[in-house]
Amino acid sequence: MDVVRKTFDVWAQNGRAELMEKEHGGNVSKFLNSISFDEPFTFLDVGCGNGWVVRKIANEDNCKKSIGIDKSKKMIIQSEKKKINNKERFFHTDIESWKYTGKFDFIFSMESLYYADSIESALVKIYKLLKPGGQFFCGTDFYSDNKATVKWAKIMKIQMHLHSKKEWKELFQNAGFKVKTKHIKDLKNTKKWKREWGTLFLTGIKPEK
């Protein structure tokens, strides 16, 4: 069985999904609040967990559709239970094998892309799913510049692809994206790395055709 899927199935039931929402919510909200959603748009969350970002975005007036996908079936069950309106849809799948023919204005992923079997393949698929001019927002605390989080893969005993900030940028560029980076720090957090390094957000922009 897929160890990542199994791990997240357990987390969906033991309260870890809500803990992730609490731990990441502040920095994610800071980042998303800096994005202008002033035109009608569609949104996809890759690795949506219990759907908290999908619900947040569905509340935006200009949101036409907010979709979440996750390889954990039990996370998707949690997401369905927490739905707040008919803009939300959830699918039990991983990004690489998802059969979807639509296109999105915005795609988001927080602390999930490094679990993919191949980040390169996942980025190629995400690029295809974006409209020209669309943007992919990817957040990660697990990057080699941030020394405090490097040990996570060993502790969790599951596949996690570790890359530096520079390597992440190169992965995005190789997939065809124009890329920007931003650090969101939590200056009041008790953890030193959250104050000094924080979450690395990469924005991949698909060029206009």
- Domain made up of 3-13+40-132+142-205: CATH architecture: 3-Layer(aba) Sandwich (3.40)
List the end-to-end C-alpha distance of the chain, in Å, as a whole number: 41
Amino acid at 160: M
Give CA–CA dist 196/96, Å, rounded.
34
What's this model's pTM, rounded to 2 decimal places?
0.93
DSSP single-letter state for residue 179: E
User: Phi, psi (5° rounding) for residue 91?
Assistant: -135, 135
> What residues contact residue 149 under an 8 Å CB cut-off, 6+ apart?
141, 142, 143, 193
Summarize the confidence of residues 111-132 as an average pLDDT: 96
Summarize the confidence of residues 195-202 as an average pLDDT: 89
DSSP single-letter state for residue 148: G
Q: What is the share, in percent, of the chain residues with pLDDT greater than 90? A: 70
Is the pLDDT at 110 greater than 70? The verdict is: yes
Cα 36 from chain centroid (whole Å) = 18
Confidence of residue 1 (pLDDT cuts 50, 70, 90): low
Domain ranges (residues) in the chain: 3-13+40-132+142-205
Mean pLDDT taken over the chain: 91
Dump pLDDT digits (tens) for 134-152.
Answer: 999 999 999 999 988 888 8
Confidence of residue 162 (pLDDT cuts 50, 70, 90): very high
User: Whose CA is closest to 110, among 27, 58, 174, 47?
Assistant: 47
